[in-house]
Amino acid sequence: ISAYFQKNYPYTLRPGATPKNQDFVSYFLDTNKKGYCAHFASSAVLILRYLGIPARYCEGYVIDFDRISDTAEAENDLNYMDYYNGYNELGDTGVIKVSVPDASAHAWVEVYGKKEGWTVADVTPASRDSGDSNGILSSFFDLVSGGSGSSDNADSQQANDTADNSDNAGIGRFSAGPGGLRIFFLVIILLFLSPFVIILLRKINDEREYRKEFSAADNSGKLVLWFDHETGWLSRHDPDYSKKVNYIQQVSYLLSDRDDSSKKEVASVLDRADFSNKEISEEEFEKTREILEDAIKKHRKKNKNSGK
């Protein structure tokens, strides 16, 4: 399995989201054919179990010493013994808080053998990503400058700038003349604005993808997509709502002023839309959306007024 994945399924940290109503493993194996550790580990576990081999999916993370020394924050109000029990060569070191990025997390497979017990079987291929994290910035700078970003154009432009400003003293690639100063300040402004531009571009792209998926979905898919889209803000800004883990809890919270039968009816439609093979009717879609739309707006307004 590991060799087959290595040959046919490239590793990437940017495989794209699994479409709504698509199975995570099936979409990875049959359609997308690229992914990160969670895709490979979950697929391998199901393949091994299908073959009658006991296997389990595992997740974990590692924190290196540099991250602890550079970013750790002491939690002086917490008791060390509540978090660690047993011998520690470092002694009672106290409780600290450390941020763990996705790059420090991993998923793998464990296979069971009668003699060996559970043993690790990591099937995730080596990374082939070229590190194009600056791609969106490059595209933005190209858009602003009107250039293609190619080295030929850059060299030609630099030669022209040098010829036009040969009488001006310069440092590095920036001349001291008016044109050089304009470029310098433009770069400074762009560097300052780039985080906001990235956020804006991501929001625009997310909205475009949502509308595209929504228009192509059936009634069930439309309701699930719409509900996730409309409650996204609450999930991020309302601590009480973010703790609701299923439709009945979410609906009960949103429709707190309605009777239990109404809540169960709305939650039932959402459950069938998300998990049933039978499509909900257009009437069910419209009625459920209408009921939830007003409730979601009220909760958003309430949270914004309270400063959450």
The candidate with the shortest Cα–Cα distance to 56, out of 14, 2, 142, 118, is: 118
Residue 55 sits at the vertex; the CA angle it makes with 54 and 60, to the nearest 5 degrees, is 155
Q: Is residue 236 part of a domain?
A: yes
Is 194 in contact with 244 (CB distance < 8 Å)?
Answer: no
77 DSSP 8-state letter: T
Sequence-distant (6+) residues with CB within 8 A of 262 are: 255, 291
CATH of the domain at 22: 3.10.620.30
Is 238 in contact with 303 (CB distance < 8 Å)?
Answer: yes
How far apart CA 45 and CA 59 sit, in angstroms, is 13
Evaluate if residue 191 carries a pLDDT over 80. Answer: no
Same domain, 117 and 139: no
| pLDDT at residue number 95 | 81
Q: Is residue 129 part of a domain?
A: no
For residues 90-102, average pLDDT: 75
Give the DSSP per-residue string, 221-262: HHHHHHHHHHHHHHHHH-HHHHT--SHHHHHHHHTTTS-HHH
Same domain, 193 and 248: no
Same domain, 139 and 184: yes
Q: Is residue 291 part of a domain?
A: yes
Radius of gyration of the chain (CA): 27
How far apart CA 93 and CA 69 sit, in angstroms, is 13
CA 99 to centroid of chain Cα atoms? 16
Q: Is residue 95 part of a domain?
A: no
From residue 126, give the alpha-carbon distance in Å to each of 16, 45, 122. Answer: 19, 19, 11
Same domain, 174 and 282: no
Q: Is residue 171 part of a domain?
A: yes
Evaluate if residue 168 carries a pLDDT over 50. Answer: no
Same domain, 296 and 191: no
The candidate with the shortest Cα–Cα distance to 269, out of 220, 234, 216, is: 220
Residues in the chain, total: 308
Same domain, 11 and 51: yes
Same domain, 163 and 224: no
| pLDDT at residue number 192 | 65
Q: Could you tell me where the DSSP H helices lie in 51-168?
A: 65-71, 135-145, 151-164
The pTM assigned to this predicted structure is: 0.41
Q: Is residue 183 part of a domain?
A: yes
Same domain, 24 and 116: yes
How far apart CA 264 and CA 271 sit, in angstroms, is 10
Domain boundary among 211, 227, 260: 211
* Element spanning 181, H or E: helix 178-216
The candidate with the shortest Cα–Cα distance to 124, out of 254, 203, 28, 237, is: 28
Q: Is residue 106 part of a domain?
A: yes
Same domain, 148 and 224: no
For residues 124-151, average pLDDT: 46
Domain containing 289 equals 217-305
The dihedral region occupied by 52, where left means phi > 0, alpha psi between -120 and 50, and beta the remainder, is: left
Sequence-distant (6+) residues with CB within 8 A of 238 are: 299, 303, 308
Average pLDDT, the chain: 77
From residue 197, give the alpha-carbon distance in Å to each of 38, 144, 193, 208, 275. Answer: 30, 12, 6, 16, 37
Same domain, 42 and 115: yes
For the chain, the domain total comes to 3
Domain boundary among 185, 211, 237: 211
Domain boundary among 211, 227, 243: 211
The dihedral region occupied by 122, where left means phi > 0, alpha psi between -120 and 50, and beta the remainder, is: beta
Same domain, 295 and 253: yes
For residues 15-24, average pLDDT: 88
Question: What's the pLDDT band for 161 if we cut at 50, 70, 90?
Answer: very low
For residues 97-124, average pLDDT: 86
Same domain, 151 and 230: no
Q: Is residue 81 part of a domain?
A: no
pLDDT digits (tens, 9 = 90+) for 245-276: 788 999 999 998 888 899 999 999 999 998 88
